[in-house]
Amino acid sequence: MDSDGTRDVRGTHPNPVPRPAVPREAAAVPPRPPVPPGAPPRPDGSAFLAWLRTPRPEAAPGVWRLGHRPRPEREPELIPARQLLSGALIAFLVGWLVWSLLWNGYLGGWWVLPLELFTPDSWRQSNDAVGNAVVWYGYYTLIALAIMLVVGRLGRWGEVWRRWGPPAWRPAEPATAPPPAPEQDPAEWPELRRAGAHEAAERLAADARAGLMRDVDLARIDRAWQGVRSGTHSLAAFTGTVLRQGAAACPHPSGERDLPARHARHDLLTGQVRLGTAADDPRNPYHYRGAGLALGPDLLGTSLLAVGPAGSGKTGSLVRPLAESLCLHALAGRAAVVAVGAAGAGLGPDASYDVVVRVGHPDSVHDLDLYGGTTDPDEAAAILAEALVGDLTDPHPGSDSRRSTTVLAQLLGPFRAVHGRFPSVPELRQLLDGTTGPLAALRKALTDSGQDSLLRELDARERQMAHPGDVGAVLADRIALLDRPAFADFFDTSGQSRPFSLKALDHPVRVRIDLPQRGHADASRILARLVLAQFTAGVTVREDRSLFACLLLDDASGVVTPEAVRGIQRLRSVNAGVVLTLRTLDDAPRPLRGPLLGATGCRMALSGLTPWDGQDFAEVWGKEWTETRDVTDRQIIAETPAGKAVHMLRRVITGQAPTARAVTVRQVERERWSASELAHGVPPGHAVLSLTTVRGEHAPPVLVDLRG
């Protein structure tokens, strides 16, 4: 027995095998493992390189381009199976009949004349039986093959083989693209090499091969390189940063390089997020059927309106994937996103955002700026008036809230001139109510400072308060909805909190605003209008419009106003867009439904739509020319006794009277999707989606399976 407790059996074995002597130190220390126990293997970058080299052909708007296989514009004519098989069988019988007639001499011997003319007599009449058989039967085989070729073309044997033969038994193999040339390989960063940044390209290519690069890193560095090409950044600074940090160069201000989790499929090379699959439905264009449907900034730049009842998938199938995609774009330095929804709506975890504003929640780190970060009283008054009473203005497209804006400007201007800030919610409520103390104090301060012009504004406000139809009372009632104990710590204007302003959309920021819809539904609608008004006002004055800005409103009920529609119409030209969801179009005033559908380039009708909502979508999607076939069966009346006997026999056999079928083909104009089809023909989990790009390309309404 050895010292380590093992038995030494070498001496008892009949044929002991000699072993080399091993030092005790070497035997006691095992070899060091390449990775710690339980650790995953180190990535080699093969998955990232395969994704990067996957072809992305140009496709119609909304088609998922990653690995897409283009289809023809028109559907090929598909012959019915019975007709195809019967035609193939009849062609075979015809070929057999022709060959039998030739072989048995019923058609004469002319068909062997070419053999007699073009071959020597010694080949055909020699004493060599084998040679004669080879010549004659070779010619017979050639004639038989020619007959089979002709009847095979007539009977479409090739299509029968492709549809039911061995090619149809094997599963379709994915097409593998040939490896790109080194000067065209995106993994080798050819643009950097052509610009002379060879060292930076080598460092990035090495990180990609080593598995240190992600899709967000690729998009972020490509964004920084676009800044070098435009002259915003210098080539030397870019190269130096890449050589020092590699794939982690040019980081987002948060330092994050990815989201904590992804629930949708993203392709940052094209900027798309996949929503579902176009259904294989005859109402869909043929080149869309079976293709993935995706959205990107080129489509969201025209804004999107989705309408569907509760539970139809607006949040989980549309808003959540879009918020996730835009957050990835923000990490890549391409976009700024503001997602607005009810608390707990499921717009993503807190770790996916840079700023999370929980209005009415005591643990909220950030506050919401009531005045949008502006210092201009007139601009602040216009934004606040839209938020407070925008839904009370005349809903016709030409209406506005100028009276309310004037009332607020008459108070905000003097207050800011005296205090150097805008009033808080309780102070503004007192001013709108006409409380004597605050107005007298404000008047005294203006008089002491000699600001006569602002004093005249205050005098005009006091005169208007005495009139019975003063708008100030309505504004006071609306601002009172925000002057609640739950919002006591919010909308601070003293500078003691951390208010978020939508003026920050000049930077790639990720923002989520949770509205207190439970118990404060009216206040939530005011805040939603406030965010939309601040967004449309802020993005139009940005200096850097290369950054795509998008606002996601999970529930836009009560948000659609004439000013909001006008603001949405201006977003396309400033590289911005909004995504609005509604349970029904009844949540928008009737005169604004048409302008709203016209202002948004992308429109989605989810399953469960009402017929009257479907009528509005049917009108905006218009009509198209289609081919219809009218089939008419006309009874045949026999006039001769033989004909009557044949008709009687046919009726006994088939049970139907003999008829003649007449087919009429016409071109008619019909609705792309009727109101009845939208209300009753969209399956659960599906939606009908039409798209428009910022370049003006259109995609017709497509039935999409949001679960695929």
Asked if the model's pLDDT at residue 26 lies above 70, the reply is: no
Mean pLDDT along residues 167-182: 68
Count of Cβ atoms closer than 10 Å to residue 561 Cβ: 26
The residue ranking higher by pLDDT, 330 or 114, is 330
pLDDT digits (tens, 9 = 90+) for 487-518: 988 898 887 888 888 888 989 999 999 998 88
**Does 698 lie in the same domain as 566?**
yes
Mean pLDDT along residues 2-9: 40
Asked if the model's pLDDT at residue 634 lies above 80, the reply is: no
Contact 527, 357 (CB under 8 A): no
Q: What is the pTM of this model?
A: 0.82
Asked if the model's pLDDT at residue 273 lies above 90, the reply is: yes
- What is the pLDDT, as a whole number, of residue 138? 84
pLDDT-based confidence at residue 657 (cuts at 50, 70, 90) = confident
Contact 464, 407 (CB under 8 A): yes
Last residue in a domain, options 137, 155, 173: 155
**Does 274 lie in the same domain as 199?**
no
pLDDT-based confidence at residue 654 (cuts at 50, 70, 90) = low
**Does 596 lie in the same domain as 535?**
yes
Of 7-11, 264-268, 476-480, give the lowest mean pLDDT range: 7-11
> Helix (H, G, I), strand (E, B), or coil: what is residue 342?
strand
Mean pLDDT along residues 356-374: 90
Q: Helices marked H in 420-520 — which ranges?
A: 425-433, 436-449, 452-465, 471-480
Asked if the model's pLDDT at residue 185 lies above 60, the reply is: yes
> Helix (H, G, I), strand (E, B), or coil: what is residue 369?
coil
Say if 538 falls within a structural domain.
Answer: yes
The number of angstroms, rounded, from the C-alpha of 309 to the middle of its chain's C-alpha atoms is 20
- What is the pLDDT, as a whole number, of residue 38? 45
Asked if the model's pLDDT at residue 395 lies above 80, the reply is: no
pLDDT digits (tens, 9 = 90+) for 327-353: 999 999 999 999 999 988 889 999 999
- What is the pLDDT, as a whole number, of residue 6? 40
pLDDT-based confidence at residue 605 (cuts at 50, 70, 90) = very high
Which CATH number is 688's domain given?
3.40.50.300
**Does 683 lie in the same domain as 590?**
yes
Specify which residues 632 forms β-bridges with: 662
Contact 272, 519 (CB under 8 A): no
Last residue in a domain, options 115, 134, 155: 155
Asked if the model's pLDDT at residue 398 lies above 70, the reply is: no
Asked if the model's pLDDT at residue 3 lies above 60, the reply is: no
CB within 8 Å of 600: residues ≥ 6 apart = 302, 303, 304, 305, 568, 580
Say if 233 falls within a structural domain.
Answer: yes
Specify the number of domains making up the chain.
4
- What is the pLDDT, as a whole number, of residue 176? 58
**Does 698 lie in the same domain as 563?**
yes
Percent of the chain with pLDDT over 90: 53
**Does 354 lie in the same domain as 289?**
yes
**Does 298 lie in the same domain as 244?**
no
**Does 335 lie in the same domain as 204?**
no
**Does 426 lie in the same domain as 399?**
yes
CB within 8 Å of 675: residues ≥ 6 apart = 611, 612, 614, 615, 617, 618
Asked if the model's pLDDT at residue 13 lies above 50, the reply is: no
Residue with tokens 């010292």: 3
- What is the pLDDT, as a whole number, of residue 346? 87
Say if 65 falls within a structural domain.
Answer: no
Q: Is 35 exposed, middle or buried, given 0-12, 13-18 or 19+ CB atoms closer than 10 A? A: exposed
Last residue in a domain, options 206, 223, 248: 248
The residue ranking higher by pLDDT, 308 or 111, is 308
**Does 475 lie in the same domain as 387?**
yes
Say if 88 falls within a structural domain.
Answer: yes
Nearest CA to 258 among 215, 294, 200? 215
Say if 97 falls within a structural domain.
Answer: yes
The CA-atom distances, in angstroms, between 184 and each of 45, 180, 192 are 19, 6, 12
**Does 402 lie in the same domain as 349?**
no
- What is the pLDDT, as a whole number, of residue 34? 47
Question: Which 8-state DSSP code applies to residue 75?
Answer: P
- What is the pLDDT, as a whole number, of residue 172? 58
- What is the C-alpha separation between 75 and 72, in angstroms, rounded? 7
The residue ranking higher by pLDDT, 656 or 548, is 548
pLDDT digits (tens, 9 = 90+) for 575-587: 999 999 999 999 9
CB within 8 Å of 547: residues ≥ 6 apart = 333, 334, 335, 336, 505, 506, 507, 508, 575
- What is the pLDDT, as a whole number, of residue 429? 93
- What is the pLDDT, as a whole number, of residue 7? 39
Say if 386 falls within a structural domain.
Answer: yes
For residue 229 the two structure tokens come to: 């090409």
Mean pLDDT along residues 52-71: 92
Boundaries of domain holding 125: 81-155
**Does 243 lie in the same domain as 265?**
no
pLDDT-based confidence at residue 27 (cuts at 50, 70, 90) = very low
pLDDT-based confidence at residue 436 (cuts at 50, 70, 90) = confident
Say if 99 falls within a structural domain.
Answer: yes
Mean pLDDT along residues 648-667: 76
- What is the pLDDT, as a whole number, of residue 708? 67
- What is the C-alpha separation between 447 and 588, in angstroms, rounded? 46
Say if 271 falls within a structural domain.
Answer: yes
For residue 373 the two structure tokens come to: 């970060």
